[in-house]
Amino acid sequence: MWKNQNLAWRRRVLRSLGRAAVLFAFALGVHGAEAAGAPRDASLEERVTDLEALMNHTAPAAVHRASRVSVNAGDHAWLLTSAALVLMMTGPGLALFYGGLVRSKNVLSTMMHSLFLMALMSVLWILYGYSVAFGEGNRFFGDPGQHFLLRGVGAAPNLDYAGTVPHQSFMLFQLMFAIITPALISGAFAERMKFSAMVLFILLWATVVYFPMAHMVWGKGGLFNWVLGGAIPALDFAGGTVVHVSSGVSALVCCLVLGKRLGHPSTPMPPHNVVYSLVGAGLLWIGWFGFNAGSALNAGALASAAFAATHFATAAAALAWAGLEWILKGKPSALGLASGMVAGLVAITPAAGFVTPAVGLLIGLLAGAACYFAVTKLKAAFGYDDSLDAFGVHGLGGTLGALLTGIFADPEVNPALASTWKAHGATVSLAGGFGQFLHQLKAVAFAWALAMAATYLILKAIDALIGLRVSEEDETLGLDLSQHGEGAYNT
Amino acid sequence: MWKNQNLAWRRRVLRSLGRAAVLFAFALGVHGAEAAGAPRDASLEERVTDLEALMNHTAPAAVHRASRVSVNAGDHAWLLTSAALVLMMTGPGLALFYGGLVRSKNVLSTMMHSLFLMALMSVLWILYGYSVAFGEGNRFFGDPGQHFLLRGVGAAPNLDYAGTVPHQSFMLFQLMFAIITPALISGAFAERMKFSAMVLFILLWATVVYFPMAHMVWGKGGLFNWVLGGAIPALDFAGGTVVHVSSGVSALVCCLVLGKRLGHPSTPMPPHNVVYSLVGAGLLWIGWFGFNAGSALNAGALASAAFAATHFATAAAALAWAGLEWILKGKPSALGLASGMVAGLVAITPAAGFVTPAVGLLIGLLAGAACYFAVTKLKAAFGYDDSLDAFGVHGLGGTLGALLTGIFADPEVNPALASTWKAHGATVSLAGGFGQFLHQLKAVAFAWALAMAATYLILKAIDALIGLRVSEEDETLGLDLSQHGEGAYNT
Amino acid sequence: MWKNQNLAWRRRVLRSLGRAAVLFAFALGVHGAEAAGAPRDASLEERVTDLEALMNHTAPAAVHRASRVSVNAGDHAWLLTSAALVLMMTGPGLALFYGGLVRSKNVLSTMMHSLFLMALMSVLWILYGYSVAFGEGNRFFGDPGQHFLLRGVGAAPNLDYAGTVPHQSFMLFQLMFAIITPALISGAFAERMKFSAMVLFILLWATVVYFPMAHMVWGKGGLFNWVLGGAIPALDFAGGTVVHVSSGVSALVCCLVLGKRLGHPSTPMPPHNVVYSLVGAGLLWIGWFGFNAGSALNAGALASAAFAATHFATAAAALAWAGLEWILKGKPSALGLASGMVAGLVAITPAAGFVTPAVGLLIGLLAGAACYFAVTKLKAAFGYDDSLDAFGVHGLGGTLGALLTGIFADPEVNPALASTWKAHGATVSLAGGFGQFLHQLKAVAFAWALAMAATYLILKAIDALIGLRVSEEDETLGLDLSQHGEGAYNT
Amino acid sequence: MKKIEAIIKPFKLGEVREALLDLGAVGMTMSEVKGFGRQKGHTEIYRGSEYTVDFLPKMKIEVVVGDAVASKAVDLIIKAARTGKIGDGKVFVSHIEEAVRIRTDERGEKAV
Amino acid sequence: MKKIEAIIKPFKLGEVREALLDLGAVGMTMSEVKGFGRQKGHTEIYRGSEYTVDFLPKMKIEVVVGDAVASKAVDLIIKAARTGKIGDGKVFVSHIEEAVRIRTDERGEKAV
Amino acid sequence: MKKIEAIIKPFKLGEVREALLDLGAVGMTMSEVKGFGRQKGHTEIYRGSEYTVDFLPKMKIEVVVGDAVASKAVDLIIKAARTGKIGDGKVFVSHIEEAVRIRTDERGEKAV
Ligand SMILES: Nc1ncnc2c1ncn2[C@@H]1O[C@H](COP(=O)(O)OP(=O)(O)O)[C@@H](O)[C@H]1O
Ligand SMILES: Nc1ncnc2c1ncn2[C@@H]1O[C@H](COP(=O)(O)OP(=O)(O)O)[C@@H](O)[C@H]1O
Ligand SMILES: Nc1ncnc2c1ncn2[C@@H]1O[C@H](COP(=O)(O)OP(=O)(O)O)[C@@H](O)[C@H]1O
């Protein structure tokens, strides 16, 4: 009785809030539909077995019978912590890392790329992004309306994705990835893209590149999903193809389509505040523990392994980059060290939960060296103006990591590798080797192709529609003033 | 035998430390009085039921019988993490957010407001603050001596407040709230208040406003406590009235009593470093997950719901503020986006554990818009100089959030709403609606009244005693040099 | 079959990577050798007892029988979070704290000291550092080859060190301590040491001071280990002797051997950016919760106690330092407050898990005052140039804390104190008192002696070999340009 | 033409600018400088080491004007910048031989 | 000797420097200044309070040259600094009585 | 009166100040500038792009003194600022027609 009145009241309030409210009221009405049935009796032994399962980070067998406990608080604590860490990577982490690298007249606009996306991507996510990425659908994307306003995403774990934590927390954790990925691209078009064009670009890019890629690699039934029935099982622990290849390759297209910054390369454009970039790099390293070890989706041994591989790869890549500078240029630079860190973090991302710390170290060394040469030689050779090296670090580092994952994936680190392999027959080997290398290659190639084609088309469309670049005058004045009407530093 | 010698030795050492030591020795002596009796036998079934209870974030029934396990490590991990996150909101979060907004000659004094309170409030807390807030007492405040030097606050959970984590950790988590609340006020009197007056003001304000408000809303038997027997059950998940209304309204009184900064409004006083403010805002967003999702006091489904509502409200409010700027001023600013974030975080605070993500989004939209107009129109219309908009954002955002909580609170998100409601009879509805709206209104009105009256009286008293404002000369020179004898930037 | 092919393939790839690969292949081959035997049957009661044990943060008795669950996810979540927090202390925490204190021409080189060590120490750790510190060996150091490339450090808990989390996570947590300790020293030689000499120095110092000290105090069978059979049981919860005495005393030797900075003390060398230092101090405070409360190695009551003692000591020390400035100099400074925080954090480190919050407060007060006088009077009296007061704060604060731990250690806070005490007979008392004070004194004296002797010899050797100091010209130009070829700030 | 250099207290910048605008000046150039003079500096303390900062933040305004208005300009600046307290600053006047507007190549008084 | 002071748009610094080098100048000194002139400033908004920034960032180049090359130098600077848009800046020339190279104590035109 | 402008190496500021004080100067004004000269700049590298920084940080000291002491002042400054290494800087002397102390309206040599 009262409840109905209550709902009616709420509806009255909402109606007065205009058209948008219709959507909300709908969502409010359907919320929580997934309530579980009343628990049936379970024997004491079953109950103990259920507890043991949960403490081993597996959904209790009891879930379809009479689940008394469904969330492992330790797993959940780690997942929530990780979600916070991953968001911290974008703001303030990436915002500072990128913001320090540009000239002082563009620092706010560059940070805005990251900070605005924290808001924008969250809204896309709740509207259709999560549905496209993790809803049920075909092998390319999920049903865009399935989780509209997050209906059906509640307290109960989603057994397909993360059996011991609330589905809602899994959704939140994944959102943080959807936020940082497009923000990474912004390194390529910093200091010259119109803010309105940036917003439109990311909106479309997320819709046709990120959400589908996430579905293909991590979504149930996705083309490249290695545990939930993908035709081409590709290993991507925390986002080598989904996050780094997709963003890094799109970044390359961005700087090619937008063209160079005024004055590049004749005028030097050194970072206006390297301290910011070092702080940003530090926060990225810390936050990346949430990114990679959080991708275990529980606080078990796999999280530990991913944490370790991440850490040693990062250390090794930092030493590789700074060491090469030392050898080749005579001095190791702080920015070089920080760049190496990021390169290592990128390359270990797809591999983190599949390889030993020693292999992590090796991947880091290779990534540090490869990205160093990409940024110093390749960019110079081809002459594109990748302002903050989004392609050199994320595109190439991600590609390298994704391919090496195929070679070094180790069932002793991640036992799921062994079992899945058998399920797929002898020709499919997930535990490293040439077979898996080919799967990785296909997934990477697909990600390259999708990112290049989609980015190119979207940019061309936006250019025709509203223009991509700010005017020469605005670029000279700086984007902070011309796009946002504010200056970062005043006395 | 030896133990007595040991105590004697300790006392000897302590005595030599002067009069203060007497208090300490007393505290040392009584510490740990709450040791549990020896466990009595429990059946295997009882033991399993106890484990299940604990894993479901409830204190085992066994606690009065033969508790073998009393802390859920997952809940505890999340609570400790949250406590750290909430402290991070004050230092460096708020310190940077506020510090960036002032002129460079006042940045240290502004950061000092936050950092000094991290120390000061902690000492008040251990002396009497925690006792007043969470001790047993009347409906307005707890017995100030009950937990002197934290006696009686030990390893065993306090079943009234948080049944699956050590009482001590609950106390720590709550302390972090007591730290940030007065620090929020400092935005109103920045750039002109004497440091000594600030210290005295906060000391008194915390004593007569914060600790009692916390008791009334969250303390056992408090007037507005909705689960532990309050006469006017008001919902305040993580501090809408306790934290934001109380600080924001007091902020308004502060800027009215102190008067404008020299030169305001004819001389523009733009932020000296917007980058700092953006970093601060990012850290506030991250830290607020600890604030709101930590307020679930465990790592269960409620933490997940609070995390989600917080996140989407913040994103929506940021878009609302920046969007309004874009529409009305032609350009969305980075500082506007960041201000919107804070507005959303504030408004969702009382509602976080009671509403769905979709409602969170709605609250965020409303808060972003409301605070935008408060800061741009209201302040200009009334002409007070709220240096950093503590009232416009915290006072109004907090009020809005507290009232909306009454409307949108949803028992499907927080089942406790339904059960408590029944316990209070049909006239009392906690699950949203007009009845609850009235309760919220009363609590908010009470908080407004208390904050206004107390702040006014305290300020007047201090003004008479030692003066509130620095001299004109000191204000011109800057508070960093005049109050603290140091300059922030040197070459 | 396939597995062999797979290994062969991996080896083929690796061989082509040159000589280094031999080491890796070896490590890869032996990885995971510690696989447990198949579980034998356990009764239901045993299984419940095992779960209870684990939830009480103790390894299940079952581990040698038929362990079904071996990791407490809550404990693990807290340990991983703590590891991330401790790394954050170094980068960006310490990097910012120290970086702000130097002149702008040396900020990158100073931050580089911290950031480079994040990479360097990690590599030493995986090669032999962890083995020397925590491997089995004699009372002074562990077998350097035991855990080469982390073999034998896997998912299973190490029952000697941390029974409810993966051994690998314990190793990671300890690594973060090995990173920050040498970074602390850098405060003493900032603004004048050659980068190459710094690298060589830390490499040797970690090898002969840090890893052995960690073994002696925390390693199984170490000379000063109080729970695993040390001859002189010294209490050092989170690193009073291991971290702060060792680094602080070495810092003193460094500034004596290197000599003063050009212009010291006639030319004032004020911090170039106090804001950075305040942010750094804030991050240190937050991160230190991981350092100290994480050192409980689980999320039980001890973590709560360590968290509380840490927090109140820090608050008290900050007030003590700023208060002394207020009384003696007329103004409390922001940098003074921050310095007090660090002093409190340092002094409570050895005591954190052994003392009550009230005693924490007391230790903080003493540490704040003691370090204040060390930095203002002692340094001036002796005239050494400890650029950033690494000795005054860490050397003296650590010594004070380590000694006070002997006096105030309380079995009601840490029950292990009582039990171990009995095991050693009546003459050995771990629970505070004169007996334990003597043990502490011995350990501290040993740490002083080792740090002084080793640091002196290493520095002299490096000076002879490649020289310790940059040229006068380079020092005048600044280390950022002369050592790293980059400037922090550009327009 | 004359170049007037005025070293003033920073917070007086607005008033001096207004005064010059009232005079009809259409251009001026300003820079942040540090001044040493009778106004004694302040003491700062960093971790116990106390030292005096003698150089205080000042603002330097440079304006080139025609000979005719120079002395009027000086008077106006002085009036606007004065607080009567020590440290108010100085005005220096010197001769400028040539002035050119870069945009148009106009020379002499037309250019200022 | 003459002192040439040129107030230019910051991004023109490189070109002006090249021009002076071409002339054979071996030294110059540059500082960041803020200019007020016909080029109107821009509006900034912080949390709803809008205000005009009249002083725009400019670069001041000071170069002391021998009398012989002064007018040539002025012309080169003007050419290099011109965009033709308002706000291009000014050049002022004044007389220098003595110049000394600190290192060698050389005086006069040898010193510049 | 004469204006002495000295462009010196930043770390020599203290000594130059002392020298001027010894002479009896009671005021001076200082600013941070960047100098280009024979002293070659240094190379910086950011992510592989190497470039030369030609403009080095210098300190400019301006002091207006009576005609009588001008040459003495120049000598003292030179002595104090010299390291003998390239890049020591320059001193320029020019004529000042009028000086005014804002606070008191004192004019001429009394004002400096
Ligand atoms: N002889 C001088 N040459 C150059 N600048 C001067 C000279 N005397 C004073 N100044 C400048 O004028 C400022 C104010 O001078 P000061 O002696 O403090 O005050 P007052 O002129 O009111 O006595 C100084 O800080 C300095 O910048
Ligand atoms: N009379 C003046 N004295 C000193 N500086 C001037 C004067 N007039 C102009 N300036 C400087 O020249 C700059 C450009 O002048 P402005 O009037 O904006 O452009 P334009 O010379 O192209 O008309 C100004 O910003 C200011 O720094
Ligand atoms: N002709 C000039 N005009 C203005 N400033 C100059 C001139 N020549 C040199 N300087 C300034 O003097 C500084 C030192 O000059 P430099 O040629 O490097 O050394 P040195 O005078 O010892 O040969 C330069 O960095 C520049 O700031």
Question: What is the tens place of the pLDDT at every residue in B153-187?
Answer: 999 999 999 999 999 999 999 999 999 999 999 99
d(CA B421, CA B408): 15
Residue to mutate among F42, F47, F56, F88, with most C CBs inside 10 A, is F42
What is the pLDDT at residue A211?
A: 98
Strand, helix or coil for residue A90: helix
Task: Give the number of the atom of ligand 3 that is nearest the alpha carbon of residue E3.
Answer: 3
Q: Which of C364, C349, C219, C354 is nearest to C292 (CA)?
A: C349
pLDDT tens-place values along chain F, 112 residues long:
999 999 999 999 999 999 999 998 889 999 999 999 988 888 998 988 888 888 999 999 999 999 999 999 999 999 999 999 999 999 999 999 999 999 999 999 999 8
Closest CA relative to residue A385, chosen from A110, A192, A104: A192
Residue A460 lies in a domain: yes
Angle of the A73-88 helix axis to the B301-329 helix axis, nearest 10:
20
How far apart are the C-alpha atoms of D42 and D39, rounded to whole Å? Answer: 10
Task: Work out the mean pLDDT of chain A and round it to a whole number.
Answer: 90
In this structure, the dihedral spanned by the alpha carbons of residues C439, C445, C447 and C450, taken in order and rounded to 10 degrees, is -140
Nearest residue by C-alpha to atom 19 in ligand 2? E87
Assigned domain for B404 exists: yes
**Dist. CA C266–CA B448, nearest whole Å:** 56
Element (H, E) at F32: strand F28-36
Tell me which DSSP letter residue A57 carries. Answer: T
- Whether D46 and chain B come into contact, CB under 8 Å, resolves to yes
pLDDT of res. D26 = 84
Q: Which residue of C has its CA nearest to F83?
A: C473
Contact F14 C486 (CB under 8 A): no
The answer to whether residue A384 is domain-embedded is yes
Report B:271-290 residues touching C (Cβ under 8 A).
273, 276
**Assigned domain for B369 exists:** yes
* Core vs surface per residue A329-359: b (16+ CB within 10 A) or e: bebbbbbbbbbbbbbbbbbbbbbbbbbbbbb
Q: Are A196 and A330 contained in the same domain?
A: yes
- Smallest Cβ–Cβ distance between E88 and the set D28, D29, D103 belongs to D103
**Residue C273 DSSP code:** B
Q: Residue A165 belongs to a domain with what CATH number? A: 1.10.3430.10
End-of-domain residue from the set B19, B41, B63: B63
Q: pLDDT digits over B298-343, tens only?
A: 999 999 999 999 999 999 999 999 999 999 999 999 999 999 999 9
Nearest to A311 by CA among B136, C83, C241: C83
Count of beta carbons in the 10 Å neighbourhood of residue B330: 10
Over residues A413-462, the pLDDT tens digits come to: 999 888 654 444 544 556 666 788 999 999 999 999 999 999 999 999 99
Q: Strand D49-53 and strand D42-46: pairing? A: antiparallel
pLDDT at position F48 = 81
The confidence band for B417, taking pLDDT boundaries of 50, 70 and 90, is confident
Whether B229 and B184 map to the same domain: the answer is: yes
Enumerate the H helices of D2-56 as residue ranges: 13-23
* Count of domains forming chain C: 2
B334 & B202 share domain: yes
| Structural domain ending residue among the three candidates A13, A30, A63 | A63
* Closest alpha carbon within chain C to A304: C169
D42 touches chain C (CB under 8 A): no
Per cent of chain E over pLDDT 70 is 100
Residue A50 and residue A105 in one domain? no
Q: Are residues C17 and C126 in the same domain?
A: no
DSSP string, E11-52: GGHHHHHHHHHHHT---EEEEEEEEESSS--EEEEETTEEEE
Least distant ligand from the CA of E106: 3
For ligand 1, mutation pick of F1, F26, F28 (most atoms within 8 Å of CB): F28
One domain for residues A85 and A59: no
Q: What is the pLDDT of residue D41?
A: 82
Largest separation between any pair of C-alpha atoms in chain E:
58
- Residue C292: inside a domain: yes
Question: Which of these ranges, A226-235, B131-140, C39-48, has the smallest mean pLDDT?
Answer: C39-48
Do both A30 and A123 map to the same domain? no
Predicted confidence at residue E90, as pLDDT, reads: 97
Q: Model pTM?
A: 0.94
The SS3 of residue C146 is coil
Backbone angles phi, psi at B365, to 5 degrees: -55, -50
pLDDT tens for the 491 residues of chain C, in order: 344 444 444 444 344 344 443 344 344 433 333 334 444 578 999 999 999 999 999 988 865 566 689 999 999 999 999 999 999 999 999 999 999 999 999 999 999 999 999 999 999 999 999 999 999 999 999 999 999 999 999 999 999 999 999 999 999 999 999 999 999 999 999 999 999 999 999 999 999 999 999 999 999 999 999 988 889 999 999 999 999 999 999 999 999 999 999 999 988 999 999 999 999 999 999 999 999 999 999 999 999 999 999 999 999 999 999 999 999 999 999 999 999 999 999 999 999 999 999 999 999 999 999 999 999 999 989 999 998 999 999 999 999 999 999 999 999 999 988 865 444 454 455 666 678 899 999 999 999 999 999 999 999 999 999 999 999 999 999 999 999 999 999 97
**Tens-digit pLDDT profile for residues A133-183:** 999 999 999 999 999 999 999 999 999 999 999 999 999 999 999 999 999
Q: Residues of chain D with pLDDT > 90: what percent?
A: 80
Cβ–Cβ gap E95/D95 under 8 Å: yes
To the nearest whole Å, the CA of E19 is away from the closest chain A CA by 16
From residue A292, alpha-carbon distances to A277, B231, C443 in Å are: 22, 48, 39
Does residue A393 sit in the same domain as residue A369? yes
Ligand nearest to the CA of D4: 2
Whether A332 contacts chain C with CB within 8 A = yes
Question: Both tokens of residue A265?
Answer: 């390369």
Report which of C289, C263, C240 is spatially closest to residue C409, judged by C-alpha positions. C240
CB pairs under 8 A between E and F: 79
- Please, which chains are in contact with F (at least 3 CB pairs closer than 8 A)? A, C, D, E
Q: For residues A198 and A195, what is the distance between their CA atoms, to the nearest angstrom? A: 5
Interface size, chain D vs chain F, as Cβ–Cβ contacts under 8 Å: 79
A111: containing domain = 73-484
- Do C138 and C25 share a structural domain? no
Same domain, A401 and A331: yes
Most A-contacting residue of C19, C48, C71 (CB-CB within 10 A), to test interface: C71
Which of A51, A126, A169 lies nearest to residue B52, judging by beta carbons? A51
- The reply to whether residue E103 touches residue F93, judged by beta carbons under 8 angstroms, is no
Q: What is the pLDDT of residue C413?
A: 95
User: Which secondary-structure segment (H or E) carries D100?
Assistant: strand D98-101
Chain F interface, mutation test: which of A97, A277, A376, most F Cβ atoms within 10 Å?
A376
Which helix (H) or strand (E) element contains residue A257? helix A246-258
Residue of A108, A262, A475, A477 to mutate, interface with E, max E Cβ within 10 Å:
A477
Contact A371, A396 (CB under 8 A): yes
Residue C197 in any domain: the answer is: yes
Q: Where are the alpha helices (DSSP H) in C60-166?
A: 73-88, 95-101, 107-124, 130-134
Task: Give the three-state DSSP class for C371.
Answer: helix
Query: Ligand 2: does its nearest atom lie under 6 Å from the Cβ of E8?
Result: no
Question: E44 and A487: CB-CB below 8 Å?
Answer: yes
* Residue B162: DSSP 8-state: B
Tell me if F99 and D93 make a contact (CB, 8 A cut-off): yes
pLDDT in tens, A183-226: 999 999 999 999 999 999 999 999 999 999 999 999 999 999 99
Backbone phi and psi for residue B34, each to the nearest 5 degrees, phi listed first: -85, 20
Q: In terms of domains, do A83 and A152 share one?
A: yes
pLDDT at A420: 53
| Residue from the list F11, F14, F45 with its beta carbon closest to the beta carbon of C486 | F45
Nearest CA to C292 among C302, C300, C280? C302
Final residue belonging to a domain, choices B30, B63, B96: B63
Q: Which of residues 58-77 of D touch F (CB under 8 A)?
A: 58, 60, 74, 77
Nearest CA to ligand 1 atom 27: D35
| Chain D residues near residue F112 by CB distance under 8 angstroms | 90
Nearest alpha-carbon partner for B158 in B206, B209, B228: B228
Q: Please tell me if the CB atom of residue D86 comes closer than 6 angstroms to any atom of ligand 1.
A: yes
By Cβ distance, the residue of C476, C485, C486 closest to F11 is: C476
Query: Comparing D85 with A40, which gets the higher pLDDT?
Result: D85
Better-predicted residue by pLDDT, C26 or B110: B110
Q: What distance in Å separates residue A328's CA from the closest CA in chain F?
A: 10
Ligand 1 centre and the CA of B266: distance in Å?
28
Specify if B348 maps to a domain. Answer: yes
Separation of alpha carbons F37 and E109, rounded Å? 15
Same domain, B49 and B164: no
The answer to whether D36 faces chain F, any CB pair under 8 Å, is yes
Average pLDDT of chain B is: 90
The answer to whether position A68 is within a domain reads: no
Cβ of A486 within 8 Å of Cβ of B311? The answer is: no
Instruction: Report the C-alpha dihedral over residues B165, B171, B172, B177, rounded to 10 degrees.
Output: 120
Tokens of A284: 């990225």
The CB of F37 under 6 Å from ligand 3? The reply is: yes
CA distance C299 to C303: 6
Q: F8–E101: do the CB atoms touch at under 8 Å?
A: no
Count of all residues that appear for chain B in the document: 491
- Residue D55 in contact with ligand 1 by CB distance below 6 A: no
Which ligand does the CA of E82 lie closest to?
2
Ramachandran sector of residue A133 (left: φ over 0; alpha: ψ -120 to 50; beta: rest): alpha
Q: Which token pair is B330? A: 């032609």
